[in-house]
Amino acid sequence: MGGSTLKNLNMFEALCGTTELSHVVLATTMWVKIVDPDNRKKAIRFEQDLQRDYWGGMIEIGSKAFHHDDTKGSAMHIVDHILSL
């Protein structure tokens, strides 16, 4: 991740402040478009890298990362988390 995407993430973190990051939900999407098993493994590794390298600081402070697979159950899991806040 780089350029404007990374700049926007940094700006988002600055706007939220450290105390409010525990109310932030981060989600990866588009999983239904990945049907090839090799590409799925790459996508999972990318998601892990994203959570470690780019979202790691936010997650350490309390942000929650979700893997949204375009199902009602997955969406409800995220909504349930938000409502629990």
What is the model's pTM? 0.82
Classified as helix, coil or strand, 44 is: helix
Summarize pLDDT for 50-75 with one digit per residue, the tens.
Answer: 999 999 999 999 999 999 999 999 99
State how far the alpha carbon of 71 is from the alpha carbons of 21, 35, 37, in Å: 26, 15, 19
Residue whose structure tokens are 């105390």 = 19
Contact 70, 29 (CB under 8 A): yes
Q: What is the pLDDT of residue 19?
A: 87
Summarize pLDDT for 22-38 with one digit per residue, the tens.
Answer: 999 999 999 999 999 99
